[in-house]
Amino acid sequence: MKYARIFVRSFFKWLLIAGVVGVISGGVGTLFRLSVENANVLRQANTWLIFLLPLGGLLIVGCYQLCGIKSPIGTDRVIGSVRAEEEVPVILGPLIFVSTVITHLLGGSAGREGAALQLGGSIGTHVGKLFRLDEKDMSLIVLSGMSGVFAALFGTPLTSVFFALEVISVGVIYYSGLVPCLVSALVAYSISGYFGFDLEIEKVLAVPDFGLFPVLRVAVLGVCCAVLSILYIFTMDRVDDIFEKFFKNPYLRILTGGIVIVGLSMLFPSGHYNGSGMGVIFQALDGEADWWAFLVKILFTAVTLGAGFKGGEIVPTFFIGSTMGCFVGGLLGLDPGFAAAIGLIATFCAVVNSPVASILLGIELFGAQGLIFFGIACSISYMLSGYYGLYGSQKIMYSKTKAKYININAK
Amino acid sequence: MKYARIFVRSFFKWLLIAGVVGVISGGVGTLFRLSVENANVLRQANTWLIFLLPLGGLLIVGCYQLCGIKSPIGTDRVIGSVRAEEEVPVILGPLIFVSTVITHLLGGSAGREGAALQLGGSIGTHVGKLFRLDEKDMSLIVLSGMSGVFAALFGTPLTSVFFALEVISVGVIYYSGLVPCLVSALVAYSISGYFGFDLEIEKVLAVPDFGLFPVLRVAVLGVCCAVLSILYIFTMDRVDDIFEKFFKNPYLRILTGGIVIVGLSMLFPSGHYNGSGMGVIFQALDGEADWWAFLVKILFTAVTLGAGFKGGEIVPTFFIGSTMGCFVGGLLGLDPGFAAAIGLIATFCAVVNSPVASILLGIELFGAQGLIFFGIACSISYMLSGYYGLYGSQKIMYSKTKAKYININAK
C-alpha cells in the first residue's frame, strides 16, 4: 500500500507539473512556429531580404554577447542538463527564439528543432525551479519541456515523447519520463493544433506490397540514408572547424558566413535552399526533386550554422533525406514519393540515433501502412550510421554491433 | 575506414546468421502455431477431451522429468540467458512445444508466447553455437530467435522485434539487436504468413476524435488496466505458492490442478475459458463481453500454469485485457470494441513493462488511427503497474517515478 501511494502521488504530481510545462511550451512553441512560418513567407515575398543576412548575423552575435553567453552552447547544453551535468540558462530561451526567426527571415538555411529543444529545456528548468524539484526530477521536467515544444512544432505528439526519452542516451530510454513527457506533449499539441500544422501530410503513400524485392530496395535506400547522414554531419563539423580556425572573432565569422550565403543564394536563385525549405520537402513527397538538391542543402546549412546563425538541423535533415530518397528511390524502382518518405525518416534516424522516435515519426506523418518498411530503413540507417550524431553531447551507451556497454559521446 | 569495415562486416554477419535463425524459427513457429490452433479446434469439437487433462498433466511432468529438467524453469531462464546468466538447454524447445500443445488440446487455459520465447531462445542458442559466436553475440542471437518465433506466432513483426529488445531489462533497449531481430522476424513472418494469421484483425476501430473527454476516459481505462495487471500477476503468484506449498510432488500437483480445471470447466461449460480463448477476444473487440469473464479467466489461467501445465501468459493477458476493457469502456462511455483494443494493449504493456512494443502492437493489430490513445493508455498502465511483471527474471533498471537507476527484479 505504501508503494501504491508513492506511485499515485507521483502520477498526480507529474500530471500537474507537466501540465503547466505543457501549457507554457505549447504557447511558446506555437508562437515560435508561427513566427518562423511567417518569417519564411515574408522572405519569399521579399527576396531582397537575403542581402540583410550578414547584418542580421551581427545582430545575433551582439545579442548573445550582451547576455554574456559565449557562442558554442546550445542544444548540447540542454542534453547535458538532462544528465545533470550542466544547467540551461533561462535567457537561452528568448535568445534562440529571436535569432532563429532572424535566421529564417533573412534566408539562412536552418531548421527550428534546435531552438525548440532549447526553448523547451529552458521552460522546463524554469518551471522545475518554481516547483522546487530535486535534481532527478529536474531531468524529467527538462525532457517534458523538450517534448512539449517539439510536439507544438511538428504536430507529432508521440514522436516528440519518444524523441525526448530516447535522444539523450542512446540505448537507454528514460521511461520514468513517459507520463510527464506525454502530458506536456498532449497539452502543447492541443494548443498548437488550434492554429493548424504545416507538416500535416494528407497524402497517402504508395506503399509497395511486402515482398523480397521491395524489402531489398528499401534496405538499399536505408544504407544510402546512413551514408548521407555521415556526409551531412561530417560536412557540418568540417565547416564548423574551418570557420572557427580562420575567424576567431564571432562577429567576423558570422559576417563572412552571411556573405557566403548571399553569394550562394545568387548562384541558386530559386530560394529553395534558404530558410526551412518546407516546400521542397512537400515536392519530394509528391515525387519530384532535383538530384543535386541534397548536396546544395548540406552546403547551405553547414555554412549557416557553422557561421553562428541559429536554428536546428532536423528540418534540413528532412530536406536532404526526402530529396535524396526521392531521387535514389526512383532509380531503385520505388515510387519516388514513398521513397522520399523513407529517406526522410531513415535519415532522421541516422542523425539522431533514435529508432523508436523515427518509426513513430513515420507513422504520425504517413500512417501505419508503411510500418514494416519504416522499420527496415530505420534499423539499417541506425546501425550503419555508426557513432556519428548531430548532438556531440549525446551519449551512445551501447555498441551498435555488440551487446556491449561503451558509453561514448556521439561524433 | 577501419570503423566502416567493422560495421559493414557486422551487418552482413547478422544478415546471414539471423537469416538462418529466421528460417528455423519461422518454420518451427509456424508448425507450433498451427499445432496449437488445431489443438484448440479439435478440443472444441470434442468436449470430452477435457476429462483427459489430469492425465495429460502427468504426461507433461513425466516428459520433463525424463529429460532431467526440473519443473520451474521456463521463460525466465531464456531471459536470464540473454544477460548471459544462464544457458537455454536445447531440449527445452521440443519439451515446451509438446507440453503446450497437450495443454491446449485438453483444455488448460494458457497462451503460447511463453513457449514461443523458449522455442526461440533454444533455436537462437543452437544456431549461435553452430556459428561459434562469443558471449556478447550469443545474447543477440537469443533475442533474434525470440523475435522470430514471436513474429511467426502473432504476425506482428515490429512488435516482436521491440518486445525482444525491450523486455529483458526495462529502461534499456538492446539496439545492437535491432538488425538481427528484424531480419529474423521478417523472415519468420514471411514463412508464417503463407499460412495466414489468426490474429489478423480486419476490423476498423471506432476511434473517438482527440479531445479532453476521450483522453480522460482512455486514461481511466489505462488506470484500470494497471490494477488488472497487478491483480492478475498477484493471483498467479499466490496460486503458484499454494500449489507448491501443498503439493511438493509435481505429479500430484499437476494431477490436482488438472482435476480443478475439469471441475471449473463443469461450472463454466461454455468452453470460453479453456485453451487460448481467441474467440472471446474477437467478440470483445466486436464490443461484446461478460463483465465477469476476466475474473474467471484469471482463475483458470492461474490454476493451469500454477499446477505445471505449459503455455504462456500473453494470450490470457489479451483475453482479460480486452474483456475488461470492453466492459469498463462501455461504462465509461467509450465504444466497447475500441475500449477492448485499448484494454488489450495497455494490459499487455502493464504485465511485460514494454511500452514501445505495446504501442507498436496496437498499430500492427489495429492501425495508426488510435495511436495517441494507445500511447496514453500504455504510458499510464506502465507507470501505475509498479514493479510487477510476468517474468521474475526481468530486470527493472530504472525507477518508474524518478530518473534513477534501481536495477531490481520484477515482482
To which H or E segment does residue A409 belong? strand A405-409
**What is the Cα–Cα distance from B271 to B265, expressed in whole angstroms?**
7
Decide which of B378 and B74 is more confident: B378
Is residue B96 within 8 A of residue B123, CB to CB? The reply is no
What mean pLDDT comes out for the span A36-50?
92
What mean pLDDT comes out for the span B136-157?
90
Angle at A337 between CA A336 and CA A338, to 5 degrees: 90
Is residue B359 within 8 A of residue B193, CB to CB? The reply is no
Here the cell at position B88 is 537455454
Contact B140 A3 (CB under 8 A): no
What's the gap in Å between the CA of A222 and the closest CA on chain B? Answer: 12
Residues 287-306 of B with CB under 8 A from A: none
Q: Tell me the three state secondary structure of residue B187.
A: helix
**What is the Cα–Cα distance from B17 to B9, expressed in whole angstroms?**
12
DSSP-assigned letter for residue A207: P
Is residue A394 within 8 A of residue A385, CB to CB? The reply is no
Residues near A113 by beta carbon (within 8 Å), at least 6 away in sequence: A150, A153, A154, A312, A313, A314, A315
Residue with cell 539471423: B18
B242 and chain A: CB distance < 8 Å anywhere? Answer: no
Q: Tell me the three state secondary structure of residue B172.
A: strand
Ordered alpha helix ranges (H), A247-313: 250-267, 278-285, 293-307
What local confidence, expressed as pLDDT, does residue B260 receive?
A: 95
B402 and chain A: CB distance < 8 Å anywhere? Answer: yes
What local confidence, expressed as pLDDT, does residue B280 receive?
A: 94
Say yes or no to pLDDT of A18 above 70: yes
Report the side by side order of strands in the sheet with B405-409. B169-170, B395-398, B405-409
**What is the Cα–Cα distance from A271 to A261, expressed in whole angstroms?**
11
Is residue A311 within 8 A of residue A111, CB to CB? The reply is yes
B398 and chain A: CB distance < 8 Å anywhere? Answer: yes
What mean pLDDT comes out for the span A25-47?
92
**Chain B positions in Cβ-Cβ contact with residue A182 (cut-off 8 Å):** 375-376, 379
**Among B172, B178, B375, whose Cβ lies nearest the Cβ of A382?**
B178
Q: State the amino acid at position B265 in one-letter form.
A: S
Percent of residues, chain A, with pLDDT higher than 90: 60
What local confidence, expressed as pLDDT, does residue A201 receive?
A: 63
In order of A284, B72, B339, the CA distances from A368 in angstroms are: 20, 40, 20
Percent of residues, chain A, with pLDDT higher than 70: 92
What's the gap in Å between the CA of A308 and the closest CA on chain B? Answer: 31
**What is the Cα–Cα distance from A165 to A352, expressed in whole angstroms?**
12
Domains in chain A, ordered, with CATH?
A: 2-193 (1.10.3080.10), 212-409 (1.10.3080.10)
Closest Cα in chain A to B400: A176
In order of A38, A53, A160, A215, the CA distances from A33 in angstroms are: 9, 20, 15, 36
What's the gap in Å between the CA of A181 and the closest CA on chain B? Answer: 10
Is residue A174 within 8 A of residue B403, CB to CB? The reply is yes
Q: Which residues of A118-150 are buried (b: 16+ CB within 10 A; e: fewer)?
A: bbbbbbbbbbbeeeebeeebbbbbbbbbbbbbb
Residue with cell 497462451: B111
Helix axes A293-307, A212-246, angle to 10 degrees: 30
Residue with cell 528511390: A329
Ordered alpha helix ranges (H), A308-335: 314-332
Closest Cα in chain B to A375: B158
**Chain B positions in Cβ-Cβ contact with residue A158 (cut-off 8 Å):** 359, 371-372, 375
Q: Tell me the three state secondary structure of residue B222.
A: helix
Say yes or no to pLDDT of B199 above 70: no
Per-residue model confidence as pLDDT tens digits over A64-117: 888 877 655 556 666 766 666 566 677 778 888 999 999 999 999 998 888 888
Per-residue model confidence as pLDDT tens digits over B47-58: 899 999 999 999
Here the cell at position B212 is 479532453
Q: Tell me the three state secondary structure of residue B337.
A: helix
What mean pLDDT comes out for the span B90-103?
87
Q: Tell me the three state secondary structure of residue A268.
A: coil
**Among B7, B210, B379, whose Cβ lies nearest the Cβ of A179?**
B379
Mean pLDDT, chain B, rounded, equals: 88
Closest Cα in chain B to A2: B386
Residues near B38 by beta carbon (within 8 Å), at least 6 away in sequence: none
Q: State the amino acid at position B34 in one-letter form.
A: L
B238-241: long-range contacts at Cβ-Cβ below 8 A with a sequence spacing of 24 or more? B238/B302, B239/B302, B239/B303, B239/B306, B240/B302, B240/B305, B240/B306
DSSP-assigned letter for residue B51: G
Decide which of A169 and A294 is more confident: A294
